[in-house]
A and B are shown apart, each in its own frame.
Chain A
Amino acid sequence: MTQITPPIALDQFQMSQPARIVAVDWQLLSIEQARRLREMGFDEGVTVELLHQGPYGGDPLACQVGRMTVAIRRELAHFIKVVAEEVTA
């Protein structure tokens, strides 16, 4: 069953729920921020999963990107749009 859902910003997404990056607002980021995000493995088509959140206001987020775990502030995660990853049984 495929269901078309609109993309959600990563910082709004549920914890511990695999998701796929469908878009990153590269044009809203500084060159430096964009490069750093790419180096940490954030890119269209990559699977991500929110694992942990910081103790004050749930910020920052710890997020599985590919096989790497990356800490990212909600502010920046907001530029990353994801959809729920279809779980293949």
Chain B
Amino acid sequence: MTPTPASAPESAPVIALVGNPNAGKTAMFNAFTGARQKVGNYPGVTVERHAGKIMMGDGRPAELIDLPGTYSLTPHSPDEAVTRDVLLGRQLGEQKPDIILAVVDAGNLDNHLRFILELKSLGLPMVLALNMVDLARRDGLEIDIAALSEQLGIRVAPTIAVRRHGLDRLRDLLAEVAPAAHVENAADEARKLPPLDIRALQKQARAIADAVTTETDKRRSITRRIDNVALHPVVGPIMLAGILFLMFQAVFAWATGPVEMIESLISALHDAIQNLLPAGFLRDLILEGVIAGVGSVVVFLPQILILFSFILLLEASGYMVRAAFLMDRLMGRAGLSGRAFIPLLSSFACAVPGIMATRTMAEPRDRLTTILIAPLMTCSARLPVYAVIIAAFIPASSVGPGIGLQGLVLFTLYIVGILAAFIVALVLRRTVTKGPDQGFLMEMPKYQMPVLRDFLLGLWQRAEVFLKRAGTIILTSTVILWLLLSYPKPPADADPAIPAVDYSIAANVANGLAVVLKPIGFDRDIALALIPAMAAREVAVSALATVYAIESDGGDEHSLVERLRGKWPLPTALAFLAWFVFAPQCISTIAVVRRETNGWKWPGFLLAYLFALAYVAAGITYWSATAFGL
């Protein structure tokens, strides 16, 4: 691998990596920068900014920025707008690129070259990576690279980005066209987009593609053969259902080992600190606040990683678009398109990446509807809550061969979320997001073997985000809760029969809240746990643990499950589950909805409708459970 400088000087040329979706642009970026890439956000929009330092052929450093894939310079989605604005030098927080490194799929030149001709009109130095030449050859296509280069008037190098082939040649070509230094001329006005005749460019592109491509044999592509099965009207949906079943099964079954490992690590840490520190404020803070709080969330890392593994693999292989194809009509029933399937499936891991994935949706009303129902998909943060309550209140009995009652209840909770999402989408599409159906038009990329390196990189980036969240939002809220629960301490002459927690600030707030929550079966302790769980749902579990840990005052060492069993009637437990199907308790989600919708209107709407649904659902559950004498 070529050595890379730790940081390129300010004056290093800026290279923009541009290409159609499915041209292999991300693989190219990963091949160039590996794990050294920096992921950030453009100010004002949630489009991720990926950048990294690379070394050009002559040893000079350069800054490579990966721009969102797009079909043209006329944007249809927020993602595509960023690409255009960066190239025109009017994107906030981004340097104006000096060179364009364009990526095209060698097997799809007649379509991709149109965008290249558009890019050429910007007048920037440009290098073309003719990518996936191996797949083109597999499909019987030969491309005359010299002729292509001559016809376009651009330097061209054949590459196989996923296998890092052809990168050195690209580095050389970049060095040939690179200016001596980055040019950021303040006097230079933002570049103007020249008026373009798309149809003429398209015709020109097809003519060039035809001239340089020789089709050696017309065999059926592998992709078409796989699709004959994967998109079969009967086999296709069965296969999709099987994959989804395997995915959810894996989240629960495969995670057990790693979860137990993390749990034992946490308890070892707990014991070590207990022995190390003298009793007092600091020890209580660390044990009851930090370790109990953050630890109860970090144990879900394995499940989140398994879920993301599936989603990353489905995306990288090209199957995700097939799933969208199969689901399109079904989603159409709710006024959505198959495109919404991808963000919604991701939302089962976490609504935040799910909502961010809606950026590729071209139709604003479709996109808004998808954003508003994404929090109804049962995200992994609800799992801790569901798991604890189910373990405490639902007997581990069997309702049929191989079907446990606990699993059935969990499955029901997922289904209730999905059904609610469909109903809400239907209502929204007839009211607040009313408008004509924009249909479904989507490129179906060739199937590809996912590359381990890219997969691991993606997984690592998700893990980092999750752990950062545990270390910031969740840590802060559990520590604050602990302080609110512990202070003020009871007066010296307090009645020892009254638990110490009753004197705390949090208890007073919860007393007020409990008045509102009493009709749906929630007592003061639950209200107490719901306050910090505003930050993130999973905090509810650690909050309950903290509340009952302080209440019991370190006496008995019962687990949270046993304590709950003793304290809550069954209708309350069921109502608590129903509450969490709907309750929008996640600051990250609210924040991302605010950013994606540019204001407080839609997150406000989201909060209001979800809390209303949560209250009603919990109420109905509580009243009917009580009526049935549970």
Contacts and interface: CB of A to CB of B under 8 A. Distances in A.
Interface stretch (B83-91, B307-315, B434-442, B507-515): B434-442
Nearest to A35: B74
A37 interface: yes
27 contacts: A33-B439, A35-B74, A36-B441, A37-B441, A38-B198, A38-B202, A41-B110, A46-B206, A51-B231, A52-B227, A52-B231, A52-B232, A54-B233, A56-B329, A56-B330, A59-B328, A62-B444, A66-B108, A67-B109, A67-B111, A67-B139, A69-B443, A71-B440, A71-B443, A71-B444, A73-B328, A75-B439
Interface string B347-362: 0000000000000001
B614 interface: no
Interface in A30-70: 32-33, 35-41, 43, 46, 51-60, 62, 65-70
B110 A66 contact: yes
A9 interface: no
A70 B74 contact: no
B400 to A, nearest CB: 28
A67 B237 CA distance: 26
Interface of A: 32-33, 35-41, 43, 46, 51-60, 62, 65-73, 75-76
B234 interface: yes
A60 B233 CA distance: 11
Contacts of A62: 227, 231, 325, 444
Given A38-B198, A55-B233, A73-B441, A68 B108 contact: yes
Nearest to A31: B74
B72 interface: yes
B236 interface: yes
A55 B233 CA distance: 4
B contact residues, range = 35 or more
Closest 4 A/B residue pairs (Cβ): A56-B329, A39-B71, A52-B231, A69-B444
A70 B456 CA distance: 29
Contacts of A66: 108, 110-111, 206
A62 to B, nearest CB: 6
A46 B203 CA distance: 10
Nearest to B362: A36
A18 to B, nearest CB: 11
Given A36-B362, A55-B236, A62-B227, A71 B441 contact: yes
Given A36-B76, A51-B227, A62-B227, A70 B108 contact: no
B237 A55 contact: yes
B443 A55 contact: no
A49 to B, nearest CB: 10
Nearest to A69: B444
A interface secondary structure, majority: mixed
Contact of B329 (A38, A39, A60, A67): A60
A75 B72 CA distance: 24
Contacts of B198: 35, 38
Nearest to B22: A68
Contacts of B345: none
Contacts of B362: 32, 36
Contacts of B139: 67
Contact of B443 (A33, A38, A40): A40
A78 to B, nearest CB: 11
B328 A60 contact: yes
Contacts of B571: none
A67 B223 CA distance: 12
B61 to A, nearest CB: 35
A80 to B, nearest CB: 12
Contacts of B141: 67
A32 B366 CA distance: 15
Interface in B55-112: 71-72, 74, 76, 107-111
Contacts of B202: 38, 43
Nearest to A76: B439
Residue among A40, A69, A72 having the largest count of chain B Cβ atoms under 10 Å: A69
Contacts of A59: 328-329
B329 A57 contact: yes
A38 B114 CA distance: 10
Contacts of A36: 76, 362, 441
A60 B338 CA distance: 9
Contacts of A46: 206
A70 B76 contact: no
Nearest to A59: B329
